[in-house]
Amino acid sequence: MPGANAFVTEAFTLLGVALGMIILRTIARATSVGIRNFQLDDYMMLLAAVVYSLETAAAYIVGAWWRGLANNGMTPEERASLDPSSQEYALRVGGSKTQVIGWSLYTFLLWNLKLCMCVFYSRLTDGLAHMKIRIRIGYGLIGATYIATLLSILLGCRPLHKNWQINPDPGNSCQPAISKIDCLVTVVLNVVTDMYLISIPLPLLWKAQLSKRRKSLFLIVFGGGFFVMACGILRCALILLDPVNGAQQAGSWAVRETFVAVVIDNIPMIYPLCRRLIKNIDESLASHYAGRHKLSNGYSSSGSYAMNSRKDKKPKFVHPLSMRNATLSDSAESIVRADRVKNGQDILIVKESTVDVSPTEHSNEEIREHPHAQHPGVGYAATCNHAGGRGDVLRISRRGSAQWESPASGS
C-alpha cells in the first residue's frame, strides 16, 4: 500500500508539472505569434494534455480500483477454481480491460509527441531544401510505426475479448499487462523513431555557431530524448523479466517516460518566454537602482544606430540557429533569410521578426545594391522587436545608416 501511495503521488505530481509546461508553452506561442497563427503542433500539444491526463487516470485506476490485478500471474489450477461471480474475477477482468486502454493511450501519447517534434523540425528547417526529404521521411516513419504499434495492441490477440479472458489461459499475447508482442513491438518502434528524430537537427547544430548556453540547452533536450528511450527499454525489460510484479513497476516508468517526452517537446517553446521575463525583471531592477533605463549597446538616446562601413570584410551567411540573440523557437519560425546581392555575396536581411535583434552591419555599397533598396532614401523596412519596443519599423537609408521609428512615422 505505501508503494501504491507513492506511485499515485509521483504520477499526479508529474502530471501537474507537465500540464503547467503545456500551459506555459501555449502562453508563449500566443504572445509570440498569436492564437490565429497557431500551427499543427500547438493544437496537438493541447490534445496531448488531455491524453496524458487520461493515461495517468488509467494508471491510477489499475491500482486503486482493480488492486493491480489482471488476467496474468495465475496458474491453470487457480484459473479453473476462480468463481466467475467472485470479486477477484471482476477485479481481474476490469484490470485487463484497463491495461488495454492504458497501452492504447500510452502509444498514442508518445507518437503524438513525436509528430509534434517533427512539425517543430519542419519549421526549424523551413527554407532548407535539402532537409525537406528528411522531414517527410520522419512523417512517414511516425505514421507507419504508429499504425504497426496500434495493430499489435488491437490485433495481437484475437478475438479482442480474450484480452480479459481468465479461464482457460488465453496465452501471453492475450495478457495485456505482460504481452511480449505489445512490449517488443512498442519498444523497438519507439526507439527507432526517436533515434531518427534526434538525427534530423544534428546537421544544423553541427554547422551552427552556438553559444555555450544554447548548446547546453540543446544537450538537455537531446539528453531527455535518450532518457525517454531508456525508460521505454527499461519498461519492456521489467515486464519480460518479472511477469508477476513487473507490470506495476513498468507502469511507473511509463509515467516517467511520457512526462519527460512532454517536457522536452515544450522546452524549445517555453525558453523564449522565460528569457523575455528574465530580461524584463533585469531591466526593472536596473531602472529601480540606477534611476534610468540602460540603453542597449549600439543605440543612442534618439534611437538611432550607426552602421559600420567595413568594405574590407565580406559579410557571411548567418545560420538562423547561430544568430546572436535568436532563440530556439524564434529560429524555428524562420525569422531570417539570406538574400543574394549583385556582387554575389550573402547578406542577412531581417524581415517580419519578433526576435530581439540589432541591424546587421553592411557596407554602404551593399545596402545600395540590395534589391530591397528601391524607395527614395530607404533601403528596406522590417517589423522588429528590439530595445525600442515591439512593432517598430527599421528604416535603412542608402547612405548606410539606420533608425528605429514607430509604425505611425514610417511609410
pLDDT tens-place string over residues 76-108: 999 999 999 999 999 999 999 999 999 999 999
Rounded Cα gap, residues 153 and 180, in angstroms: 11
Phi, psi of 391 (to 5 degrees): 85, 5
pLDDT in the model for residue 332: 36
| Domain 2-276 fold | Rhopdopsin 7-helix transmembrane proteins (1.20.1070)
Phi, psi of 306 (to 5 degrees): -90, 125
What are the angstrom distances between the C-alpha of 234 and each of 157, 174, 384?
A: 24, 22, 47
pLDDT in the model for residue 129: 77
Rounded Cα gap, residues 353 and 336, in angstroms: 7
- Residues paired with 375 in a beta bridge: 378
Regarding beta strands 346-350 and 304-305, do their DSSP bridges make them parallel or antiparallel, or are they unpaired? unpaired
pLDDT in the model for residue 3: 62
Rounded Cα gap, residues 139 and 197, in angstroms: 10
- Residues ≥6 apart with Cβ < 8 Å to 155: none
Long-range pairs of 221-227 with CB within 8 A, sequence gap ≥ 24 = 221/264, 221/267, 221/268, 222/198, 224/260, 224/261, 224/263, 224/264, 224/267, 225/194, 225/197, 225/198, 225/264, 226/198, 227/260
With residue 399 as reference, give the H or E element that holds it. none
Domain with CATH 1.20.1070 in the chain: 2-276
Name the DSSP class of 263: H
| Residue 50 buriedness (CB in 10 A; 0-12 / 13-18 / 19+) | exposed
359 touches 402 (CB < 8 A): yes
pLDDT in the model for residue 384: 37
With residue 338 as reference, give the H or E element that holds it. strand 336-340
Cis peptide before 203 (omega within 30 of 0): no
Per-residue pLDDT of the chain (411 residues; tens, 9 = 90+): 556 788 899 999 999 999 999 999 999 999 888 999 999 999 999 999 999 999 999 999 998 899 889 999 899 999 999 999 999 999 999 999 999 999 999 999 999 999 999 998 888 777 777 788 999 999 999 999 999 999 999 999 999 999 999 999 999 999 999 999 999 999 999 999 999 998 888 777 766 666 777 667 677 777 788 888 998 899 888 888 887 777 777 888 888 999 999 998 998 888 777 776 676 676 666 666 665 444 444 444 344 333 344 444 444 444 444 443 444 444 333 333 333 222 333 333 333 333 333 333 333 333 333 333 333 333 333 333 333 333 444 454 444 445 545 444 444
Nearest to 187 by CA among 95, 140, 253, 138: 253
Nearest to 208 by CA among 344, 323, 368: 323
Rounded Cα gap, residues 287 and 93, in angstroms: 66
Phi, psi of 66 (to 5 degrees): -100, 5
Rounded Cα gap, residues 306 and 9, in angstroms: 58
- Give SS3 for 265: helix
Rounded Cα gap, residues 245 and 86, in angstroms: 23
Nearest to 48 by CA among 128, 126, 113, 143: 113
pLDDT in the model for residue 291: 54
Nearest to 400 by CA among 304, 299, 303, 307: 307
Cis peptide before 168 (omega within 30 of 0): yes
pLDDT in the model for residue 13: 96
pTM of the model: 0.69
Rounded Cα gap, residues 13 and 225, in angstroms: 21
pLDDT in the model for residue 362: 38
pLDDT in the model for residue 290: 61
